[in-house]
Chain A
Amino acid sequence: MSMSSLNIAQLRAQFPILQQQVNAKPLIYFDNAATTQKPYAVINAITDFYTQCNANVHRGAHHLSNESTTRFEHARDTVACFMHAANRKEIIWTSGTTEGINIVAHGIAKQLRPGDEVLVTQMEHHANLVTWQQACAQSGASLKIAPIDDDGTLNIDAFVALLSTNTKLVAFPHISNALGTINPIKTLTAQAKKVGALVLIDGAQGIAHAKVDVVDIGCDFYVFSAHKLFGPTGIGVLWGKESVLKNWPVWQTGGEMIANVTYETATWGELPNRLEAGTPNIAGAIGLAAAVEWFSQLDLHALQHHEHALLKHATEQAHNFDGLTIVGNAPEKVAVLSFVLQGCHSADIGFLLDQQGIAIRSGDHCAQPLMRRLTLPGTARASFSIYNTIEEVDAFFIALKKVHQMLI
C-alpha cells in the first residue's frame, strides 16, 4: 500500500497488537524506543518463509535451499539499498545493535595500543559504552567521554577538543535512547575524520526516525536492530565500509565464514560471509527486509511531521503538569518524553500507568552513567511512534494525573 500522506487509522489497522486491551483498557503503547510493534507485512513474511521455503542457505542444491537463499540474499540487497550502501557486501547480519558494536569493538581491541584513545559521549546506552570500555581495558588504550550540556545536547566544542591523532575510533548514538537528542552525525563524523579516526554510529534509535545514507554521512560503521524498525527481534545489521571491513578481524569462527579448512589451519572467506559464522537468522533477515520495504513505502516526511506533532503536544501538556520536569530538552530531538515527577519513583509511575493500559519504560534506560551525570536515579519515558495518536497522548496525561494523585 502506498501512502503519500498519512492516514493514522489505516496505519494502526496494520498492527494487530494495537487492537488489544490491557487491564481491560485499550492498549496505549508508548514504549517504542524499547521496541516497535510489527505490521502484518512483517508477520506474514516470516510466516511465509516458514510455511513455503524453510531450508538452510548457501548449502543444499535443492529447490527449498535455492528459494531460501534467494530470499535471504534479496534481504541483504533491500537493506543495502535502504542504507544507501555502496555495496551489498557491506551489510553484515548480526543479532542486533549490541552484537554489531561488539564485532567492531572486538576487532579494534586487537589494534589499539597504550596511548591510543577511543571517544564516546556521555549519553551512551551501555551497549555503546561498556564495549569500548572493555576494548580499552584489554588493550591499554584510554576511553574519553565527550560531555553533554544540561539540556541533553552534545557539547560539540568539547567533543572536538577531545579529538587528537591519538583518537583511533569515535562512537556516538545517532539518537539518544534516554533523552531523544538527535546528534549532528555528519558534523561529528567530519570532525573525527580530520584526525583520521574510525567512526561508528549507534543507529538503534536513528534508523526508524531519520533517513540514513551511510555514504553521505561518511562514517565507517552504522549499526542497528530490526526490532526498533518494525522488524523482528534477534536480527540486526552492521554496515561497514568495504575497505575497512574486508580486513576486519574475524569475530566468530565456524561454518560459512571459511575458505579452506584443514585439521590444523583455516583461511577466511570473503565479505560478507567472513563475519557471519554459522547458520544465520534467515527468517529474521527476511522479516527485516519486509519491515524495510514496508517502511520505505511510507512518506518519511509525513511520519516525521506526525511524530513531531505528538512530541509538541506532549511537551505542552508536560509543561502544564504540576511537579513534572522533562529530562532532555535538546532543540533537535525525536518523539521521546523522558520525565521525572516530583516525589514519585519512576517504577511506581510505570506500574500505575500499566494498570491503565499504558506501556512506558521506567528506570535508567541502560544508561546508568548518563543518569548519574543528570543526578537522577532514573526517569519515566514515553516514546512515541508513527502509529500513536494525539488522543493517546491526552489519555496518557489523564492517566498520569491519576497516578500522581495516588503517589503523593
Chain B
Amino acid sequence: MSLPTRDDIIDDMAFFDDWEQRYQYIIDLGKSISRIDENEKTDENVVKGCQSKVWLISNLDDGILYFKADSDAVIINGLLALVMVVFNNKTPKDILAVDIDEYFKQLDLERHITPSRGNGLKAIVAKIQAIANSYAN
C-alpha cells in the first residue's frame, strides 16, 4: 500500500475533529510503511534518543535517497510514515530543502518535533538530514 501525498495528509488531518480520529489515522498510516526485516534491525541501524526502538536504513540509488524506518511502537510508526512522505524517494538536495517544522505545524503535531528526551522524532529527522547532507556535496 502506498502512502498518500503530503497535501492529502494535511487535508485529511484537518478534517478530523477529535484526537481519536487523528491518532487512529496516524496509527493506520504507520501500518502502510514498508517494514525493516528482522535481520536488518541491528544496533548499527538503531536511532538513538527514542523511548521506543527505532531503526532507520537508507540507500542511495541514481541520486535518489530511499529510506526504510521501523519502530516497535505504533504511534512512532505513524509519525515515521508522516516523515517518509516528505523525505523518501527524493534527492539529498530536496530532502534538505524540506521545512519539517512547518509541515508538523500544518499537521498540528508540533509537540512531536520539539526537543525532549524520550521523543525520538527529532532524532530521526536529524539522522535523515545528516544522511542527506553527507550525499549533498
Report A's interface with B, CB cutoff 8 A.
23, 345, 347-348, 351-352, 355-356, 362-363, 377, 402, 406-407
Contact = CB atoms under 8 A, between A and B. Distances in A.
Contacts of A355: 19-20, 23
Contacts of A377: 53, 72
A23 B19 contact: yes
Counting chain B residues whose Cβ lies within 8 A of the other chain, the interface size class is 10 to 19
Nearest to A407: B74
A402 B20 CA distance: 9
Interface of B: 19-20, 23-24, 27, 51-53, 72-76, 118
Contact of A345 (B20, B24, B74): B74
A351 B19 CA distance: 11
B48 to A, nearest CB: 14
Given A348-B76, A406-B24, 11 more contacts: A345-B74, A347-B52, A347-B75, A347-B118, A348-B52, A348-B73, A363-B118, A377-B53, A377-B72, A406-B23, A407-B27
B52 A406 contact: no
A317 to B, nearest CB: 22
- Main secondary structure, interface of B, reads helix
A406 B73 CA distance: 13
7 contacts: A347-B73, A347-B75, A347-B118, A351-B75, A352-B75, A355-B19, A355-B20
A242 to B, nearest CB: 39
A352 B27 CA distance: 11
A362 B51 contact: yes
Nearest to B73: A345
B72 to A, nearest CB: 6
Contacts of B24: 406
Given A23-B19, A406-B27, A348 B51 contact: no
Nearest to B78: A348
A355 B51 CA distance: 18
B76 A347 contact: yes
A177 to B, nearest CB: 16
A362 B118 CA distance: 10
A347 B119 CA distance: 10
Contacts of B72: 345, 377
Nearest to B120: A347
B20 A348 contact: no
B97 to A, nearest CB: 30
Contacts of B20: 355, 402, 406
A5 B74 CA distance: 45
Contacts of B53: 377
Contacts of A23: 19
Nearest to A23: B19
B74 A348 contact: yes
A71 to B, nearest CB: 35
B26 to A, nearest CB: 10
A355 B112 CA distance: 13
